Amino acid sequence: MPQETILSNAQIVLEDEIVTGSILIRDGLIAGMDSDRSSRGEDMAGDYVIPGLVELHTDHLESHYSPRPGVVWDSLAALQAHDGQVASSGITTVFDCLRIGSDEDSGFKQGEMRAIADAIRYATSEDRLRASHFVHLRCEVSAADVLEHFADFHGDPQIKLASLMDHAPGQRQFQTLDQYSLYYKKKRRLNDADFERFVARRIEESKRYADPHRRAIVEACDEQGIALASHDDATVEHVEESKNFGVRVAEFPTSMEAAKASHQAGMAVLMGAPNVVRGKSHSGNISAKELASAGVLDVLSSDYVPFSLIHAPFVLADEGRMSLSQSIRLVTATPARTVGLTDRGSIASGLRADLVRVRRKAGVPVVRSVWREGRRVA
């Protein structure tokens, strides 16, 4: 017998409008919708029902794996804690960022990120996880050993996205030493002399390694069918390079110029949802709200606060920068399509029944229920 669930009396957020009615779920898929407000099924009491959120970039798993400097947690326990918080925030598909390439900031040795990817595979096979998990490799191209770390993931079908990062000072995210000093000098508690040596070393590593490593990773991703993301593009020249590499996602462009050029080139411009909630970038770069108002914001990611992904679309709608249907697309349909996940991201017949019930009268929304493939997971 088919397994059926009816969600009735809901404000259903579609890609272009919001309608009141019911959703029929059958065998894990959306089987249909109608305007029936009857008491059949589970009464949503007028709450929103939106597609399950699709998260392309979150560093949150890393904070569970290494919750304090020098502390490493059991990878499976860290993953399950992360998954619980992700799912309760309405995220039903998550691309877990694993940082590869050792530098003074990361401290992760070769094999650690591979072990976490193995934990994701194991937990998925054991049905331990509430959300669907994929892997996003954050490749620090200026690191001497990034290609060795990258090789650990060759042929792994979990790898769906790789970003090309270079966090050396004087460019991209850190275009001024003031920004770099605020982020690294205080974080690492360096005195002036040590900071100068640190900066010189990072600049030299970027000059030596960044370009050949970037090109090698692009070639490997092309061969393995892994989608590419740029990271912190600041200039039109950066964007042109990304376009030539076949980049699909422009992560965190640092200027309006770069964001507009990326959008016009057909790349999905991704910004952090915390940037929207806070109203500004934590590193002093362009505001995501400005990009939204300019019509060049395509995707939001929770980055370091999972709940921000459900919160930010309501902030954008409240401020009149876009309709709620449009802002919900930033965290559902557009990210799914950008990375080729055509079976989810919208409420439409035949798609996965990844759904979230959201109660929101004012202020911070409340996630009431979450379904993944028709099964209640939160």
Would residue 18 count as lying in a domain? no
Provide the token pair at 308: 């921000």
Mean pLDDT (whole number) for 25-49: 89
What digits encode the pLDDT tens for the residues 197-225?
777 777 888 889 999 999 999 999 999 99
Would residue 378 count as lying in a domain? no
Would residue 264 count as lying in a domain? yes
What is the residue type of 76?
L
How confident is residue 160, by pLDDT bands cut at 50, 70 and 90?
very high
For residue 274, the model assigns a pLDDT of 95
Q: What total number of domains does the chain contain? A: 1
User: Strand 249-251's sheet: what is its strand order?
Assistant: 53-58, 91-100, 132-140, 159-165, 227-231, 249-251, 268-272, 299-301
Would residue 354 count as lying in a domain? no
Higher pLDDT, 66 or 172: 66
DSSP H/E element including 358: strand 355-359
How confident is residue 185, by pLDDT bands cut at 50, 70 and 90?
low
Provide the token pair at 113: 């990120």
* Cβ–Cβ under 8 Å, residues 333 and 346: yes
Residue 178 has pLDDT above 90, yes or no: no
Higher pLDDT, 106 or 357: 357
Would residue 206 count as lying in a domain? yes
> Largest Cα–Cα distance of the chain, in whole Å?
72
For residue 51, the model assigns a pLDDT of 98
Alpha helices, DSSP H, located in 248-307:
256-264, 273-278, 288-294
CATH code, domain with 243: 3.20.20.140
Residue 363, CB half-sphere, CA atoms under 13 Å: how many?
2
Q: What is the mean pLDDT of the chain?
A: 90
Would residue 235 count as lying in a domain? yes
How far is 213 from 147, CA to CA, in rounded Å? Answer: 7
Would residue 319 count as lying in a domain? yes
For residue 139, how many other CB atoms are within 10 A of its CB?
Answer: 29
Would residue 368 count as lying in a domain? no
Which domain, by its residues, includes 120? 52-345
Provide the token pair at 9: 């009396």
Query: Among 303, 302, 316, 312, which residue's Cα sits nearest to residue 277?
Result: 312
